Every structure is written in structure tokens, then in C-alpha cells.
């Protein structure tokens, strides 16, 4: 792509940025536009890209380096225009049919660049604005008493988020944002069945019910499933206390659950190792429209992966473990694609809090692909190269 576009983005993706709109798509059915805005994640500057695909919007947070790496995907073949708005002026990019870029840059450069104090004040002002906007944009707001957050120890009775639970509060809101993105795929005119496998204390289960039922008015029947009898008992007591008539908790195992023959949405958070695969397999068997999964403890491929070429790096246990975990989730995403799902791998919570921070979000796009298609030669060769046969692949193979 034109180096002048890269240079412009390198200069403007910083604390001074207000927004970027990338438009004039050559394939609006694939993607019509992208909106970019700065966001703060754990006090660090990131950039949220909202990709408009049909009537749906998908949000992804990037670091500056990651966002710059995305530019070729957007500008080399799809988009022909960009408008950049900063605190110091605007810039536009126009790309001709022959691929020539014309840039109009009216962004004033700070004449006091050597004044360190001036720069620090600007950054502080920008950070405060972002923190203010982030607070405003929370789906669940501090100051609004929510009984389930109070009883679960996240919020005081005065609706103040307990300091030690602030990360949990942000996690809950992040999860609801991911649900908000898939609302267009959920039918508002009939009762939806939602299963939460491995619900645990059910912070997110209660929040999901409250958001979909109370705030958005969806007709839903939510079932939480977990192996811990005492936890299930406590969650059912809380559900009855709040009058959540369509929220029930059951004791049971993911792999053996047969309580439903049709499910609209499946949630599985931190299900260990191949329990995630069984949950994904169940979701596909039901033809679930939406799948939200945060895997955990991906041990299976760590035991399988073997390759002579990669042997010099795989001999380091910690490296092998991290590689196996990432490869596990990438292969899961590819296998879900064969079942007609559009899949994204997204950051759920910051690495500082847990290394298990990848969320698999899958939306059923092709109903006729319920039987699935054969995996590609490319994917087959990839698994053979790594010497692996993932549990989800074996489960799908067993359907034949």
C-alpha cells in the first residue's frame, strides 16, 4: 500500500486523535466502513475499530502497532477514502481507481514540541477525557444498585463498585459489550434458549439475564450448568430472590448434557481443556446462532504437538505451552468456520489479570452448513505439520 498513508496514520494514531472513518468500500457486502476511536485499557492507549458488515458492527481493540498492521487489509483492495479528526485539525485520504493516494493534511503540528510540560498536559487531558467517556459508555453503571452485583460482592448497597472487584466489574461490562454486538442475530419475537456451561458463581450469567431480559426486553430462558452442587444451590436461591423466573441453574457435565434439543445461544467461560470442545460441539449440534467461549487450560495439544522443524523452540516448556494454547483456539475457530460460523478471536480481559484472555465469538451465518463441510486441505496439512488431532475435530469426525 502507499507509504504516504502509513506515514499519515503513524503520525496521527496518538493521544491527539478523536476519530477516524474509513469508507468508500468497493465491496459493501463484505464490509462497508470502519470507525476508529481511542480507548483506555488499564491506563494504556488503545484504538477500537468498529467494522460495519451489513447491518452488524464488530468491535476490536488494537494497540498502535496492531492497528498499523491492519491498514493493508483495509486499503489495498477495499477502501478508497479516510477522514482523520484530531484535536489539532483534520486530514483526508482519497485513493483513485489506479491506486494513487491523494492526501490533504490540515493537522497543525505542535510548535512547542520541545515543551515537555505542554505535551504531558495534553496527554493528561486526553486520558481524563477517555476515562470519562469509558465510564459513560459502561452498560452497567456504577451508582445504579444491582441486587445480583451486591449479593455477589461486586458492589456495595450504595451502588459503589468495591475497589478489589473493579476488574470484575469491567470484565462484566466487556462481556455485555460482546453480547451487544450480536443482538442483531438474536430473534426478538420469540423466546430464546441460552445455555451457560460452567457458570460457576454466575457473575456473568446474572448480568447477561439482566441485560437481555430487563434492559433489552428479550424473551429468554437461561440455564446455567456447573458441577458444583453448592454453587448451583446458591445461584438458584439468588435467582428466586430477584424474581428471575426464566433463569435456572442445574448440576451437570457439559459432555453429557441432553436437557435441550434446540438452543439459540451457548456461553462457555473458562471451561477447562476439552470441556470447551464438548461445549462447542454441543452448540454446533444444536445449530446455536451465537457462541461465546473463553477457553481455559488448553492441555490437550500441549501433549500432542510434535514437529522436527519446531523442535528447537518446542523444547522450552513455557513456549510450548503458550504456542499450544494459541494454536488450540485458532484451530477451534477454523473448525467452527466449517460449520457455517463467522468466527472472531477477541481479547476478553487484559493479560495482566489472566493469560486465558481469548474469547471465541461465533455467529451462524450459513444455516445450510449445519452438517458442515470437509476441512480444507490447508487446515488438514496444518494439523499434520503440527502432529495434532484436536478434540473438536475428532467430535466432528464422529458425526460422519
238-289 pLDDT, tens digit each = 999 999 999 999 998 877 888 888 899 999 987 788 889 999 999 999 999 9
Domain match, 99 and 245 both: no
Say if 141 falls within a structural domain: no
Neighbours of 359 (CB within 10 A): 20
Domain match, 392 and 253 both: yes
3-state secondary structure 316-337: CHHHHHHHHHHHHHHHHHHHHH
Say if 65 falls within a structural domain: yes
**Grid coordinates standing for 142?**
456504577
Query: Residue 29 — pLDDT band, cuts 50, 70, 90?
Result: confident
Domain match, 99 and 151 both: no
Torsional class of 17: left (φ above 0), alpha (ψ -120 to 50), beta (otherwise):
beta
pLDDT of residue 327: 94
pLDDT of residue 351: 39
Q: Please write the tens of the pLDDT for every residue from 110-141.
A: 644 444 444 455 555 566 556 555 555 678 88
Regarding pTM above 0.75, the answer is no
Say if 95 falls within a structural domain: yes
Query: Residue 301 — pLDDT band, cuts 50, 70, 90?
Result: very high
Domain match, 31 and 89 both: yes
Say if 136 falls within a structural domain: no
Final residue of a structural domain among 78, 94, 129 = 129
- Looking up residue 360, the CATH number of its domain turns out to be 3.40.50.150
- Average pLDDT of 336-341? 93
Domain match, 125 and 189 both: no
Domain match, 165 and 313 both: yes
Domain match, 351 and 389 both: yes
Give every CB contact of residue 131 below 8 A, 6+ residues apart in sequence: 40
Say if 207 falls within a structural domain: yes
pLDDT of residue 128: 58
Domain match, 244 and 323 both: yes
Final residue of a structural domain among 67, 94, 129 = 129
What mean pLDDT, rounded, does the chain reach? 86
Domain match, 46 and 172 both: no
Q: Please write the tens of the pLDDT for every residue from 151-210.
A: 999 999 888 889 888 888 988 998 999 999 999 999 999 999 999 998 888 899 999 999
Q: Please write the tens of the pLDDT for every residue from 30-74.
A: 899 999 988 877 778 889 998 988 877 888 889 999 999 999 989
Domain match, 75 and 208 both: no
Domain match, 78 and 23 both: yes
Structural domain span for residue 188: 147-397
Say if 208 falls within a structural domain: yes
Domain match, 170 and 21 both: no
Query: Residue 107 — pLDDT band, cuts 50, 70, 90?
Result: confident
Q: Are 41 and 111 in contact (CB under 8 A)?
A: no
pLDDT of residue 114: 42
Final residue of a structural domain among 129, 157, 179 = 129
Query: Residue 353 — pLDDT band, cuts 50, 70, 90?
Result: very low
Say if 142 falls within a structural domain: no
pLDDT of residue 8: 93
**Which of 181, 112, 188, 177 has its CA nearest to residue 138?**
177
How many folded domains does the chain comprise? Answer: 2
**Which of 184, 106, 170, 83 has its CA nearest to residue 135?**
170
Say if 233 falls within a structural domain: yes
Amino acid at each position: 500500500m502507499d507509504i504516504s498513508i502509513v506515514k499519515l496514520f503513524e503520525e496521527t494514531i496518538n493521544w491527539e486523535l478523536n476519530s477516524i472513518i474509513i469508507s468508500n468500500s468497493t465491496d459493501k457486502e463484505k464490509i462497508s466502513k470502519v470507525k476508529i476511536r481511542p480507548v483506555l485499557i488499564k491506563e494504556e492507549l488503545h484504538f477500537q475499530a468498529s467494522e460495519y458488515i451489513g447491518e452488524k458492527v464488530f468491535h476490536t481493540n488494537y494497540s498502535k502497532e496492531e492497528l498499523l498492521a491492519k491498514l493493508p487489509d483495509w486499503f489495498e483492495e477495499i477502501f478508497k477514502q479516510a477522514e482523520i479528526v484530531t484535536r489539532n485539525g483534520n486530514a483526508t485520504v482519497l485513493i483513485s481507481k489506479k491506486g494513487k493516494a491523494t492526501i490533504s493534511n490540515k493537522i497543525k503540528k505542535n510548535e512547542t514540541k520541545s515543551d515537555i510540560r505542554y505535551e504531558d498536559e495534553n496527554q493528561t487531558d486526553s486520558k481524563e477525557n477517555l476515562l470519562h467517556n469509558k465510564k459513560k459508555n459502561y452498560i452497567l453503571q456504577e451508582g445504579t444498585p444491582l441486587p445480583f452485583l451486591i449479593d455477589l460482592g461486586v458492589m456495595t448497597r450504595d451502588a459503589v463498585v468495591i475497589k478489589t472487584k473493579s476488574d470484575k466489574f469491567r470484565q462484566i461490562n466487556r462481556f455485555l459489550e460482546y453480547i451487544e454486538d450480536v443482538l442483531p442475530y438474536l430473534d426478538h419475537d420469540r423466546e430464546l434458549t441460552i445455555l451457560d456451561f460452567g457458570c460457576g458463581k454466575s457473575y456473568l450469567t446474572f448480568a447477561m439475564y439482566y441485560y437481555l431480559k430487563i434492559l433489552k426486553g428479550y424473551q429468554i430462558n437461561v440455564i446455567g450448568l456447573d458441577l458444583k452442587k453448592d454453587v448451583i444451590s446458591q445461584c438458584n436461591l439468588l435467582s428466586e430472590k430477584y424474581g428471575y423466573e426464566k433463569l435456572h441453574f442445574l448440576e451437570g457435565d457439559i459432555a453429557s448434557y441432553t436437557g435441550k434439543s434446540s438452543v439459540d445461544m451457548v456461553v462457555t467461560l473458562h471451561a477447562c481443556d476439552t470441556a470447551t470442545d464438548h461445549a462447542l460441539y454441543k452448540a454446533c449440534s444444536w445449530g446455536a446462532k451465537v457462541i461465546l467461549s473463553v477457553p481455559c487450560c488448553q492441555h490437550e495439544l500441549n501433549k500432542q504437538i510434535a514437529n522436527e522443524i519446531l523442535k528447537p523452540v518446542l523444547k522450552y516448556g513455557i513456549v510450548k505451552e503458550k504456542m499450544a494454547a494459541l494454536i488450540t483456539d485458532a484451530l477451534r475457530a477454523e473448525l467452527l468456520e466449517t460449520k457455517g460460523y463467522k468466527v472472531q478471536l477477541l481479547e476478553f480481559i487484559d493479560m495482566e489479570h489472566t493469560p486465558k484472555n481469548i474469547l471465541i465469538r461465533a455467529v451462524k451465518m450459513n444455516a445450510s452448513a449445519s452438517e458442515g463441510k470437509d476441512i480444507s486441505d490447508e487446515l488438514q496439512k496444518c494439523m499434520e505439520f503440527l502432529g495434532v488431532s484436536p478434540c473438536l475435530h475428532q467430535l466432528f469426525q464422529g458425526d460422519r
